[in-house]
Amino acid sequence: MFLYSHTENAQIDAILTIGALIGGSAGILLAILLFDRKTVKDNMMSRVFIVCVFVIQVIILLMVKGHHADHITLAFWEFFAKYKILLIYLAVINFIAFAAYAVDKVNAAKHRSRIKIVTLLGLAFVGGSVGSLLAMYLLRHKTRKDYFTVGVPLIMIMQVVVIFYAMNAGW
């Protein structure tokens, strides 16, 4: 919160975005973990962005350093056929994410206690991005919040990059 309480939100978000894109995502993430752990709506989008950029940058670094298979493949279905447990996990977590968004939508309509933003985004981050995105647009829930409308697709892109690397890691 320190950065947000001493600058305008748009300014600090722009600085964090530029810093993350030019390779500073690890330092920014470390600074957040050490000095600014409290999550609020104002800093949610920049945190989602920084974490996604960090994961993608680590994978790019590993690929550049040669930590990949001899040949690169895009055969996602072969990968999921080989690792069925991953496919089952993704199906379950996407169902849970969809259900969480549905419960939050019902709770919002009835003015009850809501599911935390961090929980909804966390479900998307751990593999439930497809279920989250489907729930957002099928249920028309959280579609006005940029940390969801931009964050969930960004998380989805990050997950595709992670799966692509796992397919081609050469383990």
- pTM of the shown model: 0.81
Q: Write the single-letter amino acid at 156.
A: M
Contacts of 19 (CB under 8 A, 6+ apart): 25, 27, 28
Q: Specify the pLDDT at position 2.
A: 54
- DSSP, res 115: P
- Cα atoms found within 13 Å of the Cα of residue 67, Cβ hemisphere only: 10
Sign of CA dihedral 124, 128, 129, 134: negative
Span 83-104, pLDDT tens digits: 999 999 999 999 999 999 999 9
Domain boundaries, the chain: 1-67, 70-171
In this prediction, residue 1 has a pLDDT band, given cuts at 50, 70 and 90, of very low
Residue with structure tokens 């001899």? Answer: 70
Span 132-157, pLDDT tens digits: 999 999 998 888 888 899 999 999 99
In this prediction, residue 46 has a pLDDT band, given cuts at 50, 70 and 90, of confident
